[in-house]
Structure 1
Amino acid sequence: MLTALHNLQLVSDGQISTGKAVLINGDKITAVIDEHLIPAGAQKVDLQGAYAAPGLIDLQIYGSGGKMFGSMPEVAALQQMESDMLSQGTTGFLACIATNSDDVVEAGIEAAKAYRAQAKGNFWGLHLEGPYLNAKRKGAHPARYIKKATLAEVQRWITMAKGEIKMITIAPELQDQEVIDELHSQNIVISSGHSDAAYEQGKAFINKPVQAITHLFNAMPQMHHREPGIIPAIFEERPYTSIVADGIHVSFPMIRLAKHQLGDKLFLITDAVTAATEGAYQHQFTGDRYTMPDGTLSGSCLTMLKAVQNCVEQVGIELAEAINMASLYPAQLAGKTTKGKIAAGYDADLIIFDAGYQVQGTYLMGARINLQNR
């Protein structure tokens, strides 16, 4: 059955177009055409002037709806996240496991494998944030679980995961080159985060082969005129770099600076958590943010669409470019060559939202998701 989405504002690849229709056949977008050329016999879906954009992609989220997968991993938490993400227009995400005991990390790996057969399709795999971090920049990560990687442990987890580990955040300056080389050889995205790397160290490992940076400005040395730290190295080498655009983890003027420096390599994540009273990460919601019991800032309460809205309304980024930051650029980093655009041959993953940034609908691989009964 050919479906034609029409009466929409098409947001894709840095442009907003009107008078277009999106043709979907099965799980693929077959064409974007002028609205008056919709083929006879197509099932027409009137979007009533709403925005239609590529489904959003979150490469770092910990938990949702009261289930904190990142520290208490279980199949039910992944199921909750998939459903919640679809209701928010997020059609691809990596479930993040925070620095923790080996038992918890391995339980997360087993949960991901167990859930794979029943996954709806927007759960892409795991992002391990730690435990191979720099304790000096631990943030909310418990120092007692932070350690240096060993090749044997990395290989064991990779073998155990059977492809579910897609991304890992490490402090590269503390790791042996054989560990970095092994991760790279397994096509796992290596991201520098919770790192105390100096400028020269950053220049030596960014894009060689560490291809990403985790939550820019957070948990890293700040710029100083005599000790520049890693941030100027990031701006010069321009790896894919994530940022938490909530105005709390990073102020809006600093997001504007980062966008000016990094252009199409800056992408959005939520780093979102949920309230928890058990485990190593007992996140407490304090009005506009989550903190640990000692007051340390922890993950965000963002959605991806709210991050887009903040970029438009608070940072001054055009909507079409903010959508790129939430879809196209993370898709590119993740190696998803048929996601992040609304164009012929791309997967039919879309978010439909109105001028008030309220989600009106989600399409995952061509199927419209019922937002009321997920």
Structure 2
Amino acid sequence: MTSAFYNLQLITNGTIFKEKVVLVENGFVTDIIDQHQFLPDKNSINLNGAYLAPGLIDLQIYGCGNALFGGKPTVAALQEMETCLLQQGTTGFFATIATNTTEIVLQGIESAKTYRKNSIGNFLGLHLEGPFLNPKRKGAHPENLIRKAGLQELKHWFDLAEGEIKIMTIAPELQSDEVLYFLDQQNIILSAGHSNASFTEANRFLKSPVKAVTHLYNAMPQMHHRDPGFIPAIFEQKPFTSIVPDGIHVDYPMVRLAKRELGNKLFLITDAVTESSEGVYQHQLNKNHYVMPDGTLSGSALTMLKGVKNCVQFADIALAEAVNMASLYPAQMLKDETKGQIQKGSRADFIIFNADFEHLHTVFKGQFLPVKPQP
């Protein structure tokens, strides 16, 4: 059965189209036609002028709802993340585990494998942020658990993971060439973060073997006119680079600067957490962000749609381009041509929102999902 979405503003691939109708069958977009060619029927869905955009993709998030997967990585936490994030219009995400004990990392791997067969489908895999970071740029990561990577340990993790590890954030300047070569061969995205790399060091590892950068500006050396450091190397090499657009982790003038320098390589993440009173990460909500008990800034309280809104309202980024940063560019980094845009052959994963950035509906695999009122 073909469904038709009409009376909408279609956002895809950096452009907003009016007077279009999106046709969907069996979970995929089958065509996009002009509205004057279209006669509504019982399977047609009137969006009353709302925006229809690709489902959003968050490649770094620790928890949603009441479950902090990053601290207690259970199957139940993954299930709650999937359902909670679909309620927000996030149709793809990496469940993230920060620097922690080996026991927690292995628990996360086992939970991901166990849950995979029952996954709704928006859980795309694991992001391991740490523990192989630079303690000089530890941020909220516990220094006593940060360490240098060992080849045998990594081989063990990847053997166990059976493909569930999709991205790793490490400090490349502290790792051996042997480790970097191994990680480069694992069909994952190797991302540099919590790094104290110099300009010279960064230029040596960016793009090969490191393909991405984690949360630009945070947990890395500041730029200096006599000691450029990591950030100017990122701007020169232009790898895929994530940023947390909440105005707290990164102020908006710096978001604008990053956008000018990185263009279509800059993408949004939430780096979002939930409150927790147990384990290594005891996040406490402080108005509109989270801190550790000692006051150290930890995760955000963002949703991906709020990140898009912030880029438009405070960073002077056009709406269609902000949507790209939350959908198309992450999909391009993943090399997934079925996600991140709405075109013939793409997955029918959509977010529907209005001019006030209120989330109205999620469409996942072509099916409307009920949306719970936001508190």
Fraction of identical pairs, as percent: 57
Q: Deviations over 1:219-258 (max 9, x none)?
A: 0000001111010000000000000000000000000000
CA distance in 2, matches of 1:280, 1:41: 55
| Residue of structure 2 equivalent to 1:63 | 63
- Is the CA contact 1:2–1:42 (under 8 Å) kept in the aligned structure 2? no
SS of the equivalent of 1:285 reads strand
- Is the CA contact 1:22–1:31 (under 8 Å) kept in the aligned structure 2? yes
Q: CA deviation at 1:180?
A: 1.6
CA distance in 2, matches of 1:101, 1:323: 36
Question: What amino acid does structure 1 have at the position aligned with 2:240?
Answer: Y
Question: What amino acid does structure 1 have at the position aligned with 2:136?
Answer: K
Matches within 5 A, 1:99-178: 99-178=99-178
| Residue of structure 1 equivalent to 2:237 | 237
| Residue of structure 2 equivalent to 1:13 | 13
CA distance in 2, matches of 1:157, 1:366: 35
CA distance in 1, matches of 2:193, 2:247: 19
- Is the CA contact 1:4–1:45 (under 8 Å) kept in the aligned structure 2? yes
- Is the CA contact 1:202–1:233 (under 8 Å) kept in the aligned structure 2? yes
SS of the equivalent of 2:67 reads coil
Matches within 5 A, 1:177-216: 177-216=177-216
1:321 and 2:321 equivalent?
yes
| Residue of structure 2 equivalent to 1:264 | 264
Question: What amino acid does structure 1 have at the position aligned with 2:314?
Answer: Q
- Is the CA contact 1:73–1:111 (under 8 Å) kept in the aligned structure 2? yes
Q: CA deviation at 1:337?
A: 1.6
- Is the CA contact 1:139–1:298 (under 8 Å) kept in the aligned structure 2? yes
CA distance in 2, matches of 1:307, 1:245: 5
Q: CA deviation at 1:335?
A: 1.9
CA distance in 2, matches of 1:39, 1:133: 57
| Residue of structure 1 equivalent to 2:48 | 48
Number of residue equivalences: 373
TM-score between both structures, scaled by the size of structure 2: 0.98
- Is the CA contact 1:61–1:95 (under 8 Å) kept in the aligned structure 2? yes
CA distance in 2, matches of 1:336, 1:153: 29
CA distance in 2, matches of 1:184, 1:344: 33
Q: CA deviation at 1:36?
A: 2.3
Question: What amino acid does structure 1 have at the position aligned with 2:77?
Answer: A
- Is the CA contact 1:89–1:351 (under 8 Å) kept in the aligned structure 2? yes
SS of the equivalent of 1:85 reads helix
Out of 171-180 and 55-64, give the one that drifted further. Answer: 171-180
Q: CA deviation at 1:37?
A: 2.1
| Residue of structure 2 equivalent to 1:361 | 361
| Residue of structure 2 equivalent to 1:72 | 72
- Is the CA contact 1:272–1:299 (under 8 Å) kept in the aligned structure 2? yes
| Residue of structure 2 equivalent to 1:83 | 83
CA distance in 1, matches of 2:196, 2:170: 11
1:219 and 2:219 equivalent?
yes
CA distance in 1, matches of 2:21, 2:135: 52
- Is the CA contact 1:275–1:285 (under 8 Å) kept in the aligned structure 2? yes
Matches within 5 A, 1:336-351: 336-351=336-351
SS of the equivalent of 1:96 reads strand
Q: Deviations over 1:40-68 (max 9, x none)?
A: 76721000100000000000000111211
Gaps of 5+ in 1: none
CA distance in 2, matches of 1:40, 1:369: 21
| Cα distance change on mapping 1:157 and 1:5 into 2, 3 Å | same
CA distance in 2, matches of 1:126, 1:14: 28
CA distance in 2, matches of 1:11, 1:209: 34
CA distance in 2, matches of 1:315, 1:201: 30
CA distance in 1, matches of 2:272, 2:40: 44
1:308 and 2:313 equivalent?
no
Question: What amino acid does structure 2 have at the position aligned with 1:64?
Answer: C
- Is the CA contact 1:203–1:233 (under 8 Å) kept in the aligned structure 2? yes
Gaps of 5+ in 2: none
SS of the equivalent of 2:125 reads strand
CA distance in 2, matches of 1:251, 1:62: 22
Question: What amino acid does structure 2 have at the position aligned with 1:110?
Answer: E
Question: What amino acid does structure 1 have at the position aligned with 2:319?
Answer: L
Q: Deviations over 1:323-356 (max 9, x none)?
A: 0000000011112121100000111110000111
CA distance in 2, matches of 1:365, 1:108: 26
Q: CA deviation at 1:290?
A: 0.4
Q: CA RMSD in A?
A: 1.1
Out of 104-113 and 178-187, give the one that drifted further. Answer: 178-187
Question: What amino acid does structure 2 have at the position aligned with 1:123?
Answer: F
SS of the equivalent of 1:58 reads strand
SS of the equivalent of 2:178 reads helix
SS of the equivalent of 2:300 reads coil
SS of the equivalent of 1:298 reads strand
Out of 293-302 and 71-80, give the one that drifted further. Answer: 71-80
1:33 and 2:39 equivalent?
no
